Structure 1
């Protein structure tokens, strides 16, 4: 009997302890349930965007140390500015250059208009770049630009001068690379995401671009014989400046074409007329910028007797893209779609 009573007392004590623990707060099981689903995902995203760790990135033949998240950014090229805005970083931009043909995507135009645009006393006159002094006066701790604006002989300033000022300067890598690919553009965006501690946004942007290109390729299907393409960038004293192994060649390839100068080991070059004639391009891609504009360039090409019998001229096959479509940035996926529709319109009906 005593043994039975002892067992009953023990059971009452266990029951009392269990009820006391339940009254004091949630059980470990409940805690796990509360942290699951959307709450857990939100927590992970917050941590991803707040836990910054210093790192070193290889950029323009030098190692750039990123020891903290930049807070005051100067952006040079239109495409550079658009990428920063797409990553939600407009509040960090202390100044921008108007650049050449600084047309903006409609969804970004209002934001761009609200920025500190350095449009006075431009180097090279109207449509040029601000002086180095004007850029420094915006007090940036980070500058994002291109090799032709901030490189060894950059329009704004040679890079070594900026490095001496102690301002972290990141050169848009695909603008300076031979054989730049879309993967290089994706890596550029992901690197910016890491620099500014917005890796989640960068990954989402890359995914959206990749998905659009996959959709285009799905409509194109298998291309047995890519159309031959010549790029008309600009013209100087009768000589046509064209794309070699620049990113544009890869965009053309993804869209089902082949740049006739993609085998030249230079990003951009003056074209050899004999090679243009011998290659018999089926499509002429016009890069729309400058005083001549797209229509002026098309007229010039058509009126050149050397090109009168080319398939592209005979069949009036000209595809127009904007300068900012072909420079590395968020527009490249749209550019692939534009090119593909121009090369194979029947596949997009």
Structure 2
């Protein structure tokens, strides 16, 4: 991909688009004629007219708009079935007033049929070359897009590497500017920073940080968290350490041998998918190769909700819960 190519200028392509209605022809307003705010999409500066019909993918995207008071700007949301039900969300009342557009993966037809003027998702977490829905393609259709900064780590042409929690704050700031609520965004970010600081301040200064294995999924080879996803930051804030936090990646496959070599004192289970958290725990307990691992021997497990593990406002809840749990663990020898 050529970074010098101005893909974002595709928004002007709809200037002359005519929508046929039963009463005749209606010309859709040209977004390029409206005032725009230039905001980074990963590392690419993009001019954004203010969106009004946003399609969001998964709860991380939707929650970011809801905490900014932008429910009225959401056309609808897409929620694959592996996600926890929105009825369990702290924003359940607001979700009840939104339209669930699909329980499938994000795709171009869905976005076009919804009449979206904006899509909020992540790179390889919603947007995908393989499925034919990318920011570049949407630019050509005159549909804006915003990507979670946390997922920009390996975005072709415009990568951006930011610590996961800072990426959350960056997203809220950028979305606040795009949707015209920058003051609200600043207030939310300040409140989150204060809550995170309180968790960090509660960590005993003289206590060794326990090593923690983050188990996402996988049987033959476990899938775990690298340096570029929220659980690594949440554990650090809580006073612990991700045993694979030195791996420069997002979610990736490791080996059981590597888990054993790093001797985690505790295990965090990411709760989502076809297997329940308890089923994942029982599976780990049953593995012969893990029987000598301190986390298994001492039965130290913590269940992290999926939406506390992906980029979104609930990361802060996850940090607070993890902080209390880590402080409850016996000191490591």
Decide: shared fold, TM above 0.5. Answer: yes
Rounded to whole Å, the distance in 2 between the matches of 1:255 and 1:53 is 43
Three-state SS of the structure 2 residue aligned to 1:239 is coil
Q: Which has the higher strand share?
A: 2
1:193 Cα offset (Å): 0.6
Alpha-carbon distance change, 154 to 112 in structure 1, aligned in 2, over 3 angstroms: farther
Q: Give the number of the structure whose alpha-carbon radius of gyration is greater.
A: 1
Match in the other structure for 1:88: 69
1:346 Cα offset (Å): 6.6
In structure 1, list runs of 5 or more residues that go unmatched.
1-51, 120-126
Contact 1:150 1:156 in 2 (8 A): no
Q: How many residues get paired?
A: 287
Rounded to whole Å, the distance in 1 between the matches of 2:65 and 2:78 is 14
Rounded to whole Å, the distance in 2 between the matches of 1:327 and 1:280 is 25
Aligned partner of 1:270 among 245, 249, 253: 253
Rounded to whole Å, the distance in 1 between the matches of 2:130 and 2:149 is 14
Aligned partner of 1:341 among 313, 317, 324: 324
1:69 Cα offset (Å): 1.6
Match in the other structure for 2:114: 138
Match in the other structure for 1:56: 38
Match in the other structure for 2:78: 97
Match in the other structure for 1:162: 138
Quick one: higher RCO (CA 8 Å, sep 6+), 1 or 2?
Answer: 2
Of stretches 250-259 and 145-154 in structure 1, the one that deviates more from structure 2 is 145-154
Alpha-carbon distance change, 65 to 268 in structure 1, aligned in 2, over 3 angstroms: same
1:1-349 equivalence runs, <5 A: 54-66=36-48, 68-99=49-80, 100-104=82-86, 106-119=89-102, 127-153=103-129, 155=131, 157-177=133-153, 180-222=163-205, 224-236=207-219, 238-245=220-227, 246-345=229-328
Deviating beyond 6 angstroms after TM superposition, the runs of 4 or more aligned structure 1 residues are none
Contact 1:242 1:268 in 2 (8 A): yes
1:223-275, CA deviations, whole angstroms, 9 ceiling, x for partnerless residues? 54211011100014x21100111232111111111111111222121112222
Q: Which has the higher helix share?
A: 1
1:100-123, CA deviations, whole angstroms, 9 ceiling, x for partnerless residues? 31433544212212212113xxxx
Contact 1:175 1:327 in 2 (8 A): no
Three-state SS of the structure 2 residue aligned to 1:139 is coil
TM-score scaled by length of structure 1: 0.77
Q: Give the superposed CA RMSD.
A: 2.1
1:196 Cα offset (Å): 0.6
Rounded to whole Å, the distance in 2 between the matches of 1:306 and 1:269 is 20
